[in-house]
Amino acid sequence: MTLRQELMPPDLCEAKVARLADLAAEIAGADQDRAWNLLAEFNREAMTHLTFLDFQGVFGAQDHDTWVRQILTAPYERRLRDISQSELIEIARRVMNADSPEHTTDFWLKMLALNIPDARISDLFFWPGEYFGDGDNAQELTPEQIIETALKNSDL
């Protein structure tokens, strides 16, 4: 199924991503005084208001390229009043697609969390036993089952 543009992650300028990833790595490895100009440059180019502490520990969690992509896609993550159940199912299908890069999967998960306010929706994908309280994390749900369950238990 083709998703409408509002539900898609943005196309990012690869040169900008590379430049910001390099800056992020420099900031993460610098002392706070030396990082001041680098941080201002990053925030200007990325149109963010990140602090020095936001860059600390990035490499331990993920690579700078993925982190920058998540920062740049965040403004495109939004709640849509007219999202359909079939669109939610397609987004769930895309989360389950193991071929997607980490930042793309993260975008889809955030779109689901914004459009189905179930604070534990990611558990349905990765830890269903935790979600259902039965400890059976081996069970695999279909995209349809995930969306049906999340809608039934959402905070809407």
Tens digit of each residue's pLDDT (9 = 90 or more) over 45-81: 999 999 999 998 776 667 899 999 999 999 999 999 9
Average pLDDT, the chain: 92
Contact 141, 154 (CB under 8 A): no
**Contacts by residues 84-87 (CB-CB < 8 Å, ≥ 24 positions apart):** 85/147, 85/151, 86/1, 87/1, 87/3, 87/4, 87/7
Structure tokens at 111: 């779109």
Sign of torsion over alpha carbons 101, 104, 108, 113? positive
pLDDT of residue 38: 96
Tens digit of each residue's pLDDT (9 = 90 or more) over 94-141: 999 878 898 999 999 999 999 998 889 999 999 999 999 998 888 889
Domain chopping of the chain, boundaries: 14-76, 85-152
Structure tokens at 137: 């994390």
Phi, psi of 122 (to 5 degrees): -65, -30
Tens digit of each residue's pLDDT (9 = 90 or more) over 18-46: 999 999 999 998 998 889 999 999 999 99
DSSP 48: -
pLDDT of residue 155: 63
The set of residues, in sequence order, having a beta carbon less than 8 Å from that of 26 and lying 6+ positions away, is 35, 38
Structure tokens at 132: 């259902």
Spatial separation of the C-alpha atoms in residues 151 and 149, rounded to whole Å: 6
